[in-house]
Structure 1
Amino acid sequence: MINTLIGDIGHLSVIIAFVAAIVASYAYFMASRSSNTAEDLKSWRRFARTAFYVHSAAVIVIIFALFNIIYEHRYEYYYAWSHSSNHLPVHYMISSFWEGQEGSFLLWIFWHVILGVVLMNSGKKNKEWEAPVMAMFSFVQLFLTSMILGIVIGEMKIGSSPFILMRDFMPDAPVFAMDPNFKPEDGTGLNPLLQNIWMVIHPPTLFLGFAATLVPFAFAMAGLWKNKFGEWVRPALPWAHFAALSLGLGTMMGAYWAYETLNFGGYWNWDPVENAVYIPWLVLVGAIHTMIVYRRSKHGLRVSYILVIVSFILILYATFLTRSGILGNASVHSFTDLGLSGQLFTYLTAFAVLAVGLLAYKWKQIPATEKELSTYNGEFWVFIGAAVLCLAGFQVLTTTSIPVYNSFLGFIGIESNAALPADQVEHYTKFQLWAGVLIAVLTGIGQLTWWRKADKTSFLDAITMPLMLTLLFASLVIILSNKFDVFDFKLDDPIYIILFVTSLFAVFANLSIILSLLHKKVTLSGGAVAHIGIALMLLGILFSSGYSKIISGNTSGMLYSREFPDEINRDNVLLWRNAATDMDKYVVSYHGQYLEVEGVPQYINKEILFRTADEYTAIARADIKVNDKIYYKTGDTLYLPSPENTYYEVEYKHRETGDIFVLYPRAQVNPNMGLLASPDIKSFATKDLYTHVSSVLDPNEEREWSELQEYTLTMGDTLILNDYVAIFNGVEVIKEVPGVSLKEGDVAVQADMKVMGEKKTYHAHPLLIFKDGMAGYYPEIIEDLGLRIMFLNVDPEKQEFKIGVNTTQKDYIILKAMEKPFVNILWIGTIVMTIGFFMAMVRRGEAGGVKTAKANPAPKAEKAEKAQVA
């Protein structure tokens, strides 16, 4: 019998979490009603807290139960079978936890639990906000928990349970008809592209950003509900910074994962799933700016409401896009539909209607400042910047939503075949590039006007030095790149020059702000630091994408194959094994296939590994040593953590300097997904060399060998094999054969042959084993030369030996190499931006705490607002 206890505990905990979320939501709602007495409010709040803690405990139990199912290889559960396997290391088991929809929903729920507990225990600072904010939190948790509920009422399915058994998921499978308790011995494993350390940390960071957007949204809703129209901004602002920090950092982690794992040659491909996260981040950053303006001048409260609400609704819309299956083939990494599209749409609609309806109902009561802003006022430029961010997001949203338009029109009976742009990169870039220019200009001007007096003279004084430095530095770079060939590119494209100049201006303008604030308080410069990070990211994107250069062009004048797309025939170089080939400024050579061996700090050549029936183990055919340290001796059994991955050794030699380095691009031929190639990257000070294979010999296909040719030899004979000279040195009897158990009476004989290749000499040792009265042949394959040598027979009386030889195509790879100038500026900018957001978050948190601690006095403007509302 299959033990289903852990799954029963997990599913029961889901039900408890769902019910507790309902109770907490209602109790916090009651604790927010001003019609209740003070004692009733306290009683409801205590009850609500208890319910939310029960909900939190249940969520922790769910997580424990699901991970236990994965970690203990309980393949009777569909989730473990479909996302994990026996040989996954623990850190990839963690990745498999959130590979599926249910696990990712659970991760989102978990972060809401953590944030909710923090909000409940934030002390007096947010005590007055706890009930209305947590009512919204609990209400969101109700919907999210329903996504993993996994119950069916009549014909209505509510959620998809991660604790469903295989026999229940696929009841019609013949194996369960024969044995209801059948349990697979292994799972299907984690998607090979997700077996990357960034997939361990990128999803949690991104979902933390998803979860954190709920906090400012909940405060905004609480402000509308309780008629505290301006007071919510202060406690919500540090949380908005935190949400933007984690969402932005999580997005860029995903970009770096794509850069080092996927082979499209970059870090951003304008995939709909990428766009779905990018859009709410832009709107959220715009919301932060309008909230800061309101804190300073009481302008833009209504805009702040709109942007905070829209950013959260866009998170829900992103969830609907990526999980409903509506994208179909439009995205390479969206989730498939689990039958939850209706439930996801309900989730989105419920909060959109609630938020928009409440905002519309209270709209006239929201205070508005009629004072006009001058062009030398910082608030004016901040509003312009927020508008640019939102327009940039709207352009991406409009195109990304094309599959949604088609689906909606089809639902109402109108056929629509609108398609996404054929070249999405060009489509988005031609607008987003100009948006980047405006953002760069506005981050400079906005900061200068924000920290200077609002008059023309002060502004001109503030902008003079940044402008002079910008023009000086920009002119220097343009001249060096165009006249003196200092760089590998020419900065001569007008739009690129404009983006370069404006980004430099943003750097220098914000740097001048930081220098002017050093004598005051360093945390005041958080905004300037974040803006410098954004400007550096724009510079990194400009150079690495705008001036990315393919250096592996096909100069042979021949097509590699008519079956290949034009891109492979045009932009790739064919490398025969151990044959040097000129490629741009390098001489490149391919030196064979390598595998990862546990405990060894570098990859090991396949030729010295004897593969066994177990694909995860091999036997050393020679001592394995690195830097004179022996890790395994001949005959030792080795563990191969990822036998499906082959690493191709590619040596680069610079023709002018003679510098040599080696890269190991990785690839596997997956039966379901085809060739999965991941690049290897050589980083220099000013560029990255990005290398990946585009085509290899399929190791899963049976090789086409020529007809076996037999030779009868004596010791010392010479023969010609596939145009190579070979010498038969003799044979020897060996007592041990890796992977073979020899008994008394069994005989193993090993031939010793030397084959002179074009570049090196090879030693072949084919085996002939007489075991239990039968002959067994263990050939030696020399991939470089396309030879398979077999030891067929021994005639001890005549001292003659029979050798069989097959030939095949030599080993090769087709390689693509690109240079990406100054891509490191992008990653440095990401780090700087994150530091800036963190500094701003700390500053806003401290400011909010100090002001709240002093008996929470309301500013005069806020008092006026309250009087106006009354």
Structure 2
Amino acid sequence: MINTLIGDIGHASVIVAFIAAIVSSYAYFMASRTSVEVSGDTSWRKLARGAFYVHGLAVISIIFCLFNIIYEHRYEYYYAWSHSSNHLPVYYMISCFWEGQEGSFLLWIFWHVLLGVALINFGKKNKVWEAPVMAMFSFVQLFLTSMILGVVIGDFKLGSSPFILMRDFMTDAPVFKMDPNFIPKDGTGLNPLLQNYWMVIHPPTLFLGFAATLVPFAFAMAGLWKGRLTEWVKPALPWSHFAAVVLGIGTVMGAYWAYETLNFGGYWNWDPVENAVYIPWLVLVGAVHTMVVYRRSKHGLRASYVLVIASFLLILYATFLTRSGILGNASVHSFTDLGLSGQLFAYLAVFAVLAITLLVYNWRKIPATEKELSTYNGEFWAFVGSAVLCLAAFQVLATTSIPVYNSFLGFIGIESNAALPADQIAHYTKFQLWAGVGIALLSGIAQLLWWRKGDKNSFIDAITIPAMLTLLLSSLIIIVSNKFDVFNFKLDNPAYIVLLVTSLFAIFSNLSITLGLISKKVTLSGGAVSHIGVAMMLIGILFSSGYSTIISQNTSGMLYSREFPDEINRDNVLLWRNSPTQMGKYDVSYRGQFFEVKGVPGYINKEILFRTADEYQAIARADIKVGDKAYYTTGDTLEILSPENTYYEVEYKEREGDNTFLLYPRAQLNENMGGLLASPDLQHFADKDLYTHVSGVAPEEKEWGELKEYEVSAGDTIILNDYVAVFNGIEVINKVPGVELNPGDVAVQADMKLLGEKKSYHAHPVLMIKDQMMGRFPETIEDLGLRITFLNIDTENNRFKIGVNSTQKDWIILKAMEKPFVNILWIGTIIMSIGFVMAIIRRSQEGETNKSVTPKPKKARKVQAA
């Protein structure tokens, strides 16, 4: 009998969270209509706070219930069955939690709860903001919670519940018609591409960034609503910094996951889902700059409103894009449509209409400084920088939204077949490269003018040294790359040279500012430090993407297969097992297939693992050691962590030098996901990464040749498929992997030695008599393409019959590329993040030292009736 208690509790908690969000939103709305400081009435605020805390506790209950059904393998629930499996480790079960739409919505809701609690406590210090800001927060939570409500009334569906039972989801499945209480014994498992440690930390970080964009938006909306048109910037600014840095880190984490896991050859592919996160981040960073300008000079308040509101609405638009199914085949990793398209559109439309209406209504009331900014003013260049960021975002937005245009035109009866650019990387890079140039140049000029207070002579003095250092270093890099054989590329592309020069200028300019401010107050240099990080990221992107070099060129003059795409035949090498092949400056050898074994570091050769009926278990055919430590002895049963994944050992050896290393690119054959799924392996050097992945593998089902039989005696030498083999004899064994021997059963194994090209191999085929029946366990030597079977024993003549099948040797097709100076990108990300954190600390300290003082209400005088 199915136990639905945990699901009932979870679903009830969703309903409680939804109702509590409604109550909190309404109560905060009512509390915002009157000034508590004047009236002294706190009843609505107390009710609102209590409702929000109830909402938060209900959300925690939902999380507990959903993780419980995953962790306890409750496959009667569709969510657990479709995302988890029996053999996943706990950390991948955490990834299962947010692999589905409902779980990711819940993660988003959870971060809003934590941020809301923080704002309520913040509101106690400055009560004028709590009610209007939290009214907006609770209103957003109302919409988000409705996404997981799972209420169906007739044909109307509100949300998709993560607690739906399999029998209710698959009502037409025959198994549930025969047995309504049927429970699968295992789930379908986590998407293999998501079985990566970055998928444990990347989604929570990204969704925290999503959630944090609501805070400055809520402050801006509260300012418009309550007529506090200028005061909102101060409390919202630290949160804007926080949202920008978290969203930026989450985006780069996703890029690094793609770099480590996907085989498209890099960290960014301009996929629509990638773009959907990149766009609001650019706009949010632009908003941070305009808000900083307003705090200093009272310019740009209207721009701050527009950009803060736009950044949040773009988050909602990104949600609509990735979850509505509208992208169709345009993206490789968008969510499937759960029938929530209308709900998602309503979510976006409500807040877009609300925000635009309030902004238009108050537009003329928003203070605007009539004084124009001079070109020697840092604020002017900060505005220009924000404009460049927004233009870059708009270019990506316009192209990414092509499927939306088609869908909308189709909805109104106009057929449109507009398609995304055939070469999206070239399309986006053509504009984004020059946007990067503008950002780098402006970040250097703006910072120098910002701290020089717009003084022309002072600016000229300040820019001289950074400009000279830039010209010196950039000239040195260009000369060395073009005249000397130091790098594997020549820096001769004019656009790339311009990007390098402007990025170096940004680094030196901001470094000079940082060094000058450290003696005064470290946190003052947060903006300069973050600009240094961004400039380093641009340099890392320039070299790692612009000068990525494929070293696995096919120089054999032959096609591997006419069925392969031109790219595979051209840019890959065919590696026969244990046959070295020249590739660039390396001799590369494919050494064999390996598995991950629980409790054993590294990878274990498949040849010493005897597979059992349970694909997750194997028996050691030899002692398993790593270094001097033994982990398993012969005959031990061990657990294979991910039997669907095979790791291909590839040895790289420099022809001129002693440097030798091993890489283990991963691949699996998965027909449900389009065939071969390959993940790269990386060798990190100080100045580059060597990026290697498998493009093709030999079929798992081998075509064995005709069985050839040999009669041999102990000590005989025979030739097997051009390899010398010595038959040493036989021996009785007491254990056969995977078989229990009873009294009266007999098992013997042959002992053979085969001489390969590079090393010797030992084969031990087994002949067994169990329960008066004969059984055979052949030995397969993958390196030599041989399968040896112990066929029979002639006891009278002391002769033994051996059968041998041969097949094509094992092979893989490998692609390898060098990505120069990619580490500069990752280091730049860290430095940018440090700069943002410094800015958050600075703005928070400003808020503490310059608290706005709210006058206490005067007591009303008692008037006695005459």
- Equivalent in the alignment of 2:695: 694
TM-score computed with the length of structure 1 as normaliser: 0.97
Instruction: Give the deviation of 1:800 after TM superposition.
Output: 1.5
The 10-residue stretch of structure 1 (525-534 or 624-633) with the greater mean CA deviation from structure 2: 624-633
Q: Deviations over 1:64-103 (max 9, x none)?
A: 0000000000000000000000000000000000000000
- Equivalent in the alignment of 2:463: 463
Distance in 1 of aligned mates of 2:453 and 2:765: 85
What aligned pairs does 1:510-521 form with structure 2 within 5 A after superposition?
Answer: 510-521=510-521
Q: Deviations over 1:91-143 (max 9, x none)?
A: 00000000000000000000000000000012543321000000000000000
Q: Deviations over 1:412-443 (max 9, x none)?
A: 00000000001100000000000000000000
- Equivalent in the alignment of 1:724: 723
- Contact 2:123–2:129, Cα closer than 8 Å, also in 1: no
Instruction: Give the deviation of 1:856 after TM superposition.
Output: 8.5
- Equivalent in the alignment of 1:496: 496
Instruction: Give the deviation of 1:631 after TM superposition.
Output: 1.2
The 10-residue stretch of structure 1 (730-739 or 14-23) with the greater mean CA deviation from structure 2: 730-739
Would you say 1:347 and 2:350 are equivalent positions?
Answer: no
- Equivalent in the alignment of 1:815: 814
Name structure 2 gaps, 5 residues minimum: 857-866
Q: Deviations over 1:693-735 (max 9, x none)?
A: 1001233xx2211121122222222222111121211111111
- Please tell me the residue identity of whatever aligns with 1:828: I
- Equivalent in the alignment of 1:552: 552
- Please tell me the residue identity of whatever aligns with 2:324: S
- Contact 1:669–1:698, Cα closer than 8 Å, also in 2: no
- Equivalent in the alignment of 1:257: 257
- Contact 1:695–1:813, Cα closer than 8 Å, also in 2: yes
SS in 2 for 1:238: helix
- Equivalent in the alignment of 1:765: 764
Distance in 1 of aligned mates of 2:154 and 2:232: 43
- Equivalent in the alignment of 2:33: 33
What aligned pairs does 1:425-824 form with structure 2 within 5 A after superposition?
Answer: 425-673=425-673, 674-699=675-700, 702-824=701-823
SS in 2 for 1:121: helix
Distance in 2 of aligned mates of 1:647 and 1:657: 27
Instruction: Give the deviation of 1:659 after TM superposition.
Output: 1.3
Distance in 2 of aligned mates of 1:454 and 1:728: 90
Instruction: Give the deviation of 1:737 after TM superposition.
Output: 1.3
- Contact 1:31–1:40, Cα closer than 8 Å, also in 2: no
Distance in 2 of aligned mates of 1:519 and 1:620: 64
What aligned pairs does 1:816-835 form with structure 2 within 5 A after superposition?
Answer: 816-835=815-834
Distance in 2 of aligned mates of 1:227 and 1:296: 21
- Contact 1:29–1:135, Cα closer than 8 Å, also in 2: yes
Distance in 2 of aligned mates of 1:593 and 1:178: 43
- Equivalent in the alignment of 1:223: 223
Instruction: Give the deviation of 1:148 after TM superposition.
Output: 0.2
Distance in 1 of aligned mates of 2:361 and 2:36: 23
Q: Deviations over 1:793-823 (max 9, x none)?
A: 1111121111111111100111000000000
Question: RMSD in angstroms over aligned alpha carbons?
Answer: 1.2
Instruction: Give the deviation of 1:776 after TM superposition.
Output: 1.0
- Please tell me the residue identity of whatever aligns with 1:186: D
Distance in 1 of aligned mates of 2:419 and 2:779: 53
TM-score computed with the length of structure 2 as normaliser: 0.98
Distance in 2 of aligned mates of 1:21 and 1:630: 57
- Contact 1:789–1:806, Cα closer than 8 Å, also in 2: yes
- Please tell me the residue identity of whatever aligns with 1:575: L
Would you say 1:7 and 2:7 are equivalent positions?
Answer: yes
SS in 2 for 1:209: helix
- Contact 2:30–2:44, Cα closer than 8 Å, also in 1: yes
Instruction: Give the deviation of 1:754 after TM superposition.
Output: 1.3
**When the two structures are aligned, how many residues end up with a matched partner?**
855
- Equivalent in the alignment of 1:274: 274
Distance in 2 of aligned mates of 1:34 and 1:44: 10
Distance in 2 of aligned mates of 1:118 and 1:430: 43
Distance in 1 of aligned mates of 2:37 and 2:115: 28
Q: Deviations over 1:119-171 (max 9, x none)?
A: 00125433210000000000000000000000012211000000000000011
Instruction: Give the deviation of 1:660 after TM superposition.
Output: 0.8
- Contact 2:595–2:646, Cα closer than 8 Å, also in 1: yes
- Contact 1:119–1:126, Cα closer than 8 Å, also in 2: no
Name structure 1 gaps, 5 residues minimum: 858-870
Inter-CA distance 413–855: structure 2 relative to 1 (3 Å threshold): closer
- Please tell me the residue identity of whatever aligns with 2:773: M
- Please tell me the residue identity of whatever aligns with 2:579: A
Instruction: Give the deviation of 1:37 after TM superposition.
Output: 8.8
- Contact 1:534–1:830, Cα closer than 8 Å, also in 2: yes
Q: Deviations over 1:803-851 (max 9, x none)?
A: 1111111001110000000000000000001111111011111101221
Instruction: Give the deviation of 1:855 after TM superposition.
Output: 5.5
- Equivalent in the alignment of 2:861: none
The 10-residue stretch of structure 1 (456-465 or 129-138) with the greater mean CA deviation from structure 2: 456-465
- Equivalent in the alignment of 1:860: none
- Equivalent in the alignment of 1:850: 849
SS in 1 for 2:81: helix
- Please tell me the residue identity of whatever aligns with 1:780: E
Distance in 2 of aligned mates of 1:399 and 1:856: 52
- Equivalent in the alignment of 2:860: none
The 10-residue stretch of structure 1 (331-340 or 123-132) with the greater mean CA deviation from structure 2: 123-132
SS in 1 for 2:643: coil
SS in 1 for 2:599: coil
- Contact 1:683–1:689, Cα closer than 8 Å, also in 2: yes
- Please tell me the residue identity of whatever aligns with 2:175: V
Inter-CA distance 197–268: structure 2 relative to 1 (3 Å threshold): same
- Equivalent in the alignment of 1:243: 243
SS in 2 for 1:817: strand
Inter-CA distance 801–309: structure 2 relative to 1 (3 Å threshold): same
What aligned pairs does 1:137-216 form with structure 2 within 5 A after superposition?
Answer: 137-216=137-216
The 10-residue stretch of structure 1 (732-741 or 84-93) with the greater mean CA deviation from structure 2: 732-741
- Please tell me the residue identity of whatever aligns with 1:814: I
- Equivalent in the alignment of 2:863: none
The 10-residue stretch of structure 1 (118-127 or 817-826) with the greater mean CA deviation from structure 2: 118-127
- Contact 1:32–1:41, Cα closer than 8 Å, also in 2: no
Distance in 2 of aligned mates of 1:365 and 1:39: 27
Would you say 1:68 and 2:68 are equivalent positions?
Answer: yes
- Equivalent in the alignment of 2:301: 301
What aligned pairs does 1:41-190 form with structure 2 within 5 A after superposition?
Answer: 41-122=41-122, 124-190=124-190
Distance in 2 of aligned mates of 1:19 and 1:542: 51
SS in 1 for 2:758: coil
Distance in 2 of aligned mates of 1:659 and 1:79: 48
- Equivalent in the alignment of 1:320: 320
- Please tell me the residue identity of whatever aligns with 2:677: L
- Contact 1:126–1:235, Cα closer than 8 Å, also in 2: no
Distance in 1 of aligned mates of 2:111 and 2:288: 21
Instruction: Give the deviation of 1:305 after TM superposition.
Output: 0.2
